[in-house]
Amino acid sequence: MNFKKQLHEGLLTKNPVLAQLLGLCSVLAITTSLFNGLGMGLSVTIILICSNVLISALRKVIPSQIRIAAYIVIIAGFVTVVDLMLQAFLPELAESLGVFIPLIVVNCIVLGRAEAFASKNGVLASAVDGLCQGIGYTVALVIMCVIRELLGAGTFGGGLLNGGEGIRIIPEGYPAMQMVMPVGGFLTLGFVIAGFQYLTTRMRDKKMEEAK
């Protein structure tokens, strides 16, 4: 297990959203406020860690012929727990995220890490993988939320700061409402991915030059 390498992969080289382009439905749908982004990111991170740990622990017991079905059942159990916890303690967040919490069951990120990593590695390494991939996913959501909320509503920290209204940065009447609509999600995601690819390419080229 190499925590530094796994964290680097989760944030940069194998970022589930910006590098692997997984789980984009929720990224486009719920990133209208910082509250939504943090809530969704933490929920997916918890489910990633728990499902990775259990799948890794049972990897030698689950028959290969039914492994995908078994993974989905395990993931669904943890999703149900998280969904019920949100409804009990954070009902506003549960209502805001809506159907996208139950849909984590078939989220490509969670199922992909179960198949690609947890089913082939030990429990501790799988837990770290879930944590690092969850951090990468959460960072991508937060970036999207900050940009869309600022440009679309003119605020920062909606749902968290200033009684839930967020801190107003741009005066009312000036923000572009389209940014909190679906078209704004597509535009923002495109620019964020382009910027991410540019930065990672520059970093890679710089390392290659230093190696020479």
pLDDT digits 0-9 by tens, 109-140: 999 999 999 999 999 999 999 999 999 999 99
| Coil/strand/helix, residue 181 | coil
pLDDT at 164: 82
| Coil/strand/helix, residue 166 | coil
- pLDDT tens-digit series, residues 45-88: 999 999 999 999 999 999 999 999 999 999 999 999 999 999 99
- pLDDT tens-digit series, residues 77-117: 999 999 999 999 999 999 999 999 999 998 999 999 999 99
Quick one: which of 59, 48, 56 has its CA closest to 82? Answer: 48
Which stretch of DSSP H or E encloses residue 167?
strand 167-168
Which stretch of DSSP H or E encloses residue 155?
strand 155-156
Please state, in angstroms and rounded to a whole number, the distance separating the CA atoms of residues 113 and 96: 26
pLDDT at 195: 95
Q: Residue 111 corresponds to which tokens in the numbers above?
A: 């199922």
Residue 162, pLDDT > 90, answer no
